[in-house]
Structure formats: structure tokens, C-alpha cells
Amino acid sequence: MGPLAVTRLLVLVSLTVALDNGLLRTPPMGWMAWERFRCDVDCKDDPENCISEGLFRDMADRLAEDGWKELGYDYVIIDDCWMSRLRDKVGRLQPEPSRFPGGIAKLARYVHDRGLKLGIYADMGYLTCMGFPGTTLDKIEIDAQTFASWGVDYLKFDGCNSNPVEQMLGYPLMSKALNATGRPMVYSCSWPVYMGGLPPSVNYSLLGEICHLWRNYDDIQDSWDSVQGIINWFSNNQDDLQPAAGPGRWNDPDMLIIGNFGLSVDQARSQMALWAIMAAPLIMSNDLRNLDNSARAILQNKVAIAINQDPLGIQGRRLLQEKSRVQVYWRPLSHSASSLVFLSLRTDMPFLYHCSLDKLNYEAGNYEAYDVFTDSTVTGLNVTTEFTVSINPSGVVMWYVYPRSSQADTVHRRVSESRVHPAGPDHRSVL
């Protein structure tokens, strides 16, 4: 491609209207099909688990009836494989009629009637990742209009089967097309992951103007190795990634796999804690119809959710990597509070880790800490106090830390009561 063509592309990108519709001032929360149910389209032999309107109605019922919605989990998101193999006679995407006989608009009404929101999937390419019709450049406008007409609230826009030039044009143009519909929709871009995830190939300033969130790295799999790999990549590159995040624009390390098959209870707590520290979307991919009590308790932990949803919207950072294979993460929060996560990557036995707030760059003063997963309080902390935490292998200790002051009783009461009150459709109050 010659310099003139590149210039024309950049001009088109710069003319794109920013996607500033006030959504996602805190990270989105909800449920998505992909990691748990993949591309199961066999509704004849596996009707309970295939990608169909029945599956999404079931998950909407569970979010609405089992206490998830009140905690902020309010998106039900369809991923790949919902489409018919052919567009309709006027070029619009359409759902596979045997699996979605009522259509997407009817499913959206079902979801909305339960106080929830519906998300859908499309792909910036000639085919989706699983071979269904993609959204080529000439189809961006009609697809945006179609989603809006159906009452869709969230679009995940993937990037299989496209090239960098098409992505450079297509992702901003979809942002503009979504804006032009007049319907507020969350826009999740997969663009960075197809460009290596890092500057200079990825322009995070532009992404923050056109997208609400974006996938940076590989798909998560149902294993602790996969979770560790994602945590390490985000931490190793935090100087590039952390400044890109904030209210209305979030890095997305992919779905929560808690409640599936690959994580122990300790590893599940680790994923929840690190996703909260990273200000990551809390998008579950599991079977909410068959969730055990330990997974439910982790995913519904109100203090972990409140930390994730803190309105400052500052993504946390890894502070320390110890030779003992303990890592320490920190995130600043509202009300002069913060969160600490002590993560053990050991595989042998519980490890006694000794530290102090001074070592973690806290200012002089007196503090208390609420232990998020044991519902206990650590008192008598100042910056020079040495404390000890016992961390299980591949587990975490997660603290909500606050200064001891005249307001400490109020703060401690809020933490102990673990209250999270929705303050609006896309902004949730914290502790």
C-alpha cells in the first residue's frame, strides 16, 4: 500500500465520531456463552446446551432470579454461531431459524422484561471465527442498524478473517455506525488482540475514543495455566496497558471461568481477585443452572465486586514479584482506600508471607484491612507494622485497606455489611 492510500485511511479513521454515549463508567458485568458452550449447534442431541434462544432465556432467568442482577450482573451476551449461514434477501444478518425461531428481537424483549440487557456477536471479516457470515466493510452500516432495530445493547466485534487494513477501517467505522443508529450500545472491540496487543501496533488513545472495551490478549481456556498466562501478560505489560483504562474504556482479559471444570476453589478466588484489581469486565462464562455453592459465593462476593466497580476506574498494578513466588498487586480506590492482593504461584503448601505497608509504598498513618474472602478484619496496621498472611498454593489473600480515622467506623461497617447498591444502569456505587 502506497503512502497516499495510507494517508486516506488515516483521514477516514480521524473523521470517525467518538463513541461517547455515557455507557460503562464502570466495567460491564454479566454472562457470555463462549467459553462454556463454544459453538455447540447440535440442538437435536444436546438441546439443553446448544447455542439457541432457549439457552439465553435460561441464563436470563438465572441472572434475574438468583440474585445476580442485583449485584450488577446484567448483560446476557450471545457469542459466535448464532447466525444463519446466509444473510436475508436484503443483505441483513439473521439468526439460524431452527435454533432461534422467535428471532433476536423477541429474545431481546425477553431479556429486557427481566431488567437485563442483551449482547450479540459479529466479526470484522468475511467469515466469523467459526465460519458464519462476517461483517465486511460494505456491511457495517446495515449490521449496526439491524442490531439497533432488534434492541441489542452490546456488540462484541471480533476480527477473524480480516486483514490489518480492513481492521484499521472497520473498527472505527462500526463505532460511527453504532452512534448513527441513535441506540446506546456498548462496543467491545477485538482489534488489539489481532495486532499483538501492544503499542506501537495498537493505538490505545484511538481505542479509548471509539470503543468501550477491547480484548488485548489470547482467549481464556478452562485451566489455571490459561488464567496465569493472562495475568502474567497483563502484569508484564502494565506500563502500556494500565493508563489506557478508565471510566468508559476498559482492558478486557476475557471471561470469568469460575464454576466450570478447570479451577480449584483457591484458583477461582485468584481469578476473581485479580480481575477486580485489573478493573476487568466481570463477564461470566459458566452454566448458571448448575453452579455449586463455592463458585456462587466467589462470584457473588459483594466486596470483590465493589472493588471491581470502584468509580475512580483506575486499573491496578503488580507491585512485587518475590523470589518465594508470591506476587503483590495494588489498586487505589475511592474514599482514600485501596485493595491489595497477595497471590501465591507456589504448588507445594500454604506459604507465610511477611510484609509491611511501608514496603508497598503506603503513606505514614494507621490502617485497617478487611479480608475479602474470610470476612475478617486486620487491625493495628501502620506503615512499619510487619504483618503475615498465609496464602494457599495458587491462591490469594485479598484485602480492602482503609485509613484508620474518624470515619473508620463508618467505612468498616460498610465493608462488613458488604453492600453494593446499583446507582444507575451503568454506574454502581461502592463501599
| Each residue's pLDDT tens digit, 278-294 | 999 999 999 999 999 99
Is the same domain home to 296 and 367?
no
Residue 200, preceding bond cis, omega within 30 degrees? Answer: yes
**Cα–Cα distance for residue pair 144/186, rounded to 1 Å:** 12
Let me know: does 272 contact 245? Beta carbons within 8 Å: no
Q: What is the pLDDT of residue 345?
A: 98
Contacts 24+ apart (CB under 8 A), 149-152: 149/105, 150/103, 150/104, 150/105, 150/108, 150/120, 151/105, 151/108, 151/109, 151/112, 151/118, 151/183, 152/104, 152/108, 152/118, 152/119, 152/120, 152/183, 152/185
Angle at the Cα of 308 (from 302 to 313), degrees rounded to 5?
140
Query: Does residue 6 surpass a pLDDT of 70?
Result: no
| Cα atoms found within 13 Å of the Cα of residue 284, Cβ hemisphere only | 29
**Cα–Cα distance for residue pair 86/151, rounded to 1 Å:** 21
| Cα atoms found within 13 Å of the Cα of residue 314, Cβ hemisphere only | 12
Is the same domain home to 18 and 50?
yes
Amino acid code (one letter) for 391: I
pLDDT band at 417 (very low <50, low <70, confident <90, very high): low
Distance from CA of residue 229 to its chain's centroid? 16
Per cent of the chain over pLDDT 90 is 89
**Final residue of a domain: which of 290, 308, 326?**
308
Is the same domain home to 390 and 296?
no
Annotated active-site residue in 40, 58, 219, 358: 219
**Final residue of a domain: which of 308, 340, 363?**
308
Annotated active-site residue in 80, 123, 143, 158: 158
How would you label 267-293 residue by residue, b for 16+ Cβ within 10 Å and e otherwise? Answer: bbbbbbbbbbbbbbbbbbbbbbeebee
* Residue 304 in grid coordinates: 470483590
- Answer whether residue 273 is part of any domain: yes
Q: What is the pLDDT of residue 420?
A: 44
- The pLDDT tens digits of the residues spanning 205-223 come to 999 999 999 999 999 999 9
Amino acid code (one letter) for 276: A
- Answer whether residue 424 is part of any domain: no
**Cα–Cα distance for residue pair 425/292, rounded to 1 Å:** 28
Q: What is the pLDDT of residue 405?
A: 78
Would residue 158 show up in a list of annotated catalytic residues for this protein? Answer: yes
**Cα–Cα distance for residue pair 338/398, rounded to 1 Å:** 11
Is the same domain home to 282 and 172?
yes
Cα-based distances in Å from 336 to 25, 306, 312, 379, 422: 20, 15, 11, 17, 21
**Cα–Cα distance for residue pair 34/74, rounded to 1 Å:** 17
Is the same domain home to 366 and 410?
yes
**Cα–Cα distance for residue pair 206/221, rounded to 1 Å:** 29
Lowest-confidence range among 76-85, 298-307, 403-412, 420-429?
Answer: 420-429
Query: Does residue 4 surpass a pLDDT of 70?
Result: no
- Answer whether residue 430 is part of any domain: no
User: For the chain, how many helices (H) and strands (E)?
Assistant: 15, 16
Which phi and psi (to 5°) does residue 427 adopt? -145, 120
Over residues 226-237, mean pLDDT: 98
Q: Residue 309 contacts by C-beta under 8 Å, 6 or more apart in sequence?
A: 26, 27, 29, 72, 420, 428, 430
Is the same domain home to 92 and 185?
yes
Is the same domain home to 73 and 154?
yes
Query: Does residue 93 surpass a pLDDT of 60?
Result: yes
| Number of structural domains in the chain | 2
Query: Does residue 138 surpass a pLDDT of 80?
Result: yes
Is the same domain home to 256 and 391?
no
**Final residue of a domain: which of 267, 282, 308?**
308
For the whole model, what pTM was predicted? 0.93
Is the same domain home to 163 and 236?
yes
Cα-based distances in Å from 417 to 170, 372, 430: 47, 12, 12
- Answer whether residue 427 is part of any domain: no
**Cα–Cα distance for residue pair 370/330, rounded to 1 Å:** 14
Let me know: does 138 contact 172? Beta carbons within 8 Å: no
The CATH number of the domain where 408 resides is what? 2.60.40.1180
- Answer whether residue 429 is part of any domain: no
Query: 152 lies in which domain range?
Result: 3-308
Q: What is the pLDDT of residue 21?
A: 82
The CATH number of the domain where 96 resides is what? 3.20.20.70
Element (DSSP H or E) covering residue 142: helix 140-150
Q: Average pLDDT, whole number, for the chain?
A: 92
| Bridging pattern class, strands 366-371 and 396-403 | antiparallel
Query: Does residue 261 surpass a pLDDT of 90?
Result: yes
- Answer whether residue 425 is part of any domain: no
Is the same domain home to 360 and 377?
yes
Q: What is the pLDDT of residue 275?
A: 99
- Answer whether residue 122 is part of any domain: yes
* Residue 16 in grid coordinates: 470517525
Is the same domain home to 265 and 398?
no
Is the same domain home to 326 and 291?
no
pLDDT band at 55 (very low <50, low <70, confident <90, very high): very high
pLDDT band at 227 (very low <50, low <70, confident <90, very high): very high
Q: Is 319 exposed, middle or buried (0-12, 13-18, 19+ CB in 10 A)?
A: middle
How would you label 147-158 residue by residue, b for 16+ Cβ within 10 Å and e otherwise? Answer: bbebbbbbbbbb
* Residue 272 in grid coordinates: 476473581
| Cα diameter, the chain | 71
Q: Residue 47 contacts by C-beta under 8 Å, 6 or more apart in sequence?
A: 54
- Answer whether residue 426 is part of any domain: no
